[in-house]
Amino acid sequence: MKLTPHRRRQLAAIAVACALLLLVRCAAGPGPAAAPRRGYSIVACGELFDIDTRVVLWDEAGGYDAYREGKFFGDEPPDGKRRYGERASHPETLEQLREHVHAFVLHFDVAGCSRQCFKVLQDLRVLSVHFMLDVDGTIYQTLDLRERAWHATIANDFGVGVEIAHPGAYAQPMNALMRRWYEKDEQGYYQKFPAWLQETGIRTEGFVARPARPDIIQGEIHDQIYYQLDYTAAQYEALAKLCAGLNRALPRIRLEAPRDAGGTVLTRKLEADELREFDGVIGHYHVQDNKSDPGPAMQWDRVLDDARAIVGER
């Protein structure tokens, strides 16, 4: 078919437009480096970092505000007690924060859902954590990363913490405490909620919290055997994106966990000097020998490999 001069000019213009679009996409980089979007971003020293998954901030409707000096639930007046503190270096800029913070601490909340977790921390224990990760993958940020949250003793000053909604790990499989939180149907185990927990706050309507793996996981922490059902697939996906986002916001938080010479993630407490020298993702049990979270079910390599893929490390 013979093209008219006008048609040739049209096709040339389309080719140029496609080339420019490809160039812009290449320059923009992967999704996590996109312009920040409120609702999908975490906050460090007032700056937003898009992590491409739902994030509810402390000042949003439905968010959980750890800046509140008093109980969050109910109508009690402020008690004047802060649930957080200042980091030792008193960072005022993102650059200063990046120099100081180098650990991301993973917890399970033993509360089953983020709403109950925040009630326990804020209203009952006068404690705090930067993030909560609900069973449906929704992330809640309760404080700017500039603040020192109270969740992991000596790691608080140089760490960022997340409480992952989960019933916990136990020394006996499917004991009375585990049976309070789990039932089984034709598809396997799923998480239920005790009758006393009247409101869960889970944002995804009709969400069923099924473990990512069907079987009870057995593993050793601090030379003791624990049993645990897995986290949900939605939590793993969101946690990987959160790790990738933290690595971009605070690059000293490497996408790595403490390992032995064979490459296996350590299941013991780190010595004080090891803890201060390690840059990356750790469990609460790496900080304290009386803690077992995030438990033997945590798929460390799944999270870290997925996070590395997001930031393009492989």
Of 17-26, 52-61, 222-231, 283-292, which range is least confident? 17-26
Mean pLDDT, all residues of the chain:
91
Mean pLDDT is lowest, of 21-30, 61-70, 77-86, 283-292, for 21-30
Which tens digits make up the pLDDT trace of 215-240? Answer: 999 999 999 999 999 999 999 999 99
> Rounded to two decimals, what is the model's pTM?
0.89
* CATH superfamily name and code, 31-167+232-311: Peptidoglycan recognition protein-like (3.40.80.10)
Per the DSSP assignment, residues forming a β-bridge with 159 are 103
What residues does each domain of the chain span? 31-167+232-311
Contacts of 282 (CB under 8 A, 6+ apart): 103, 104, 105, 106, 155, 159, 257, 258, 270, 275
What pLDDT, on a 0 to 100 scale, did the predictor assign at position 36? 85
Q: Are strands 41-44 and 47-50 parallel, antiparallel or unpaired?
A: antiparallel
pLDDT digits (tens, 9 = 90+) for 164-199: 999 999 999 999 999 999 999 999 999 999 999 989
CA distances (Å), 60 to each of 38, 56, 208, 209, in order? 10, 6, 25, 25
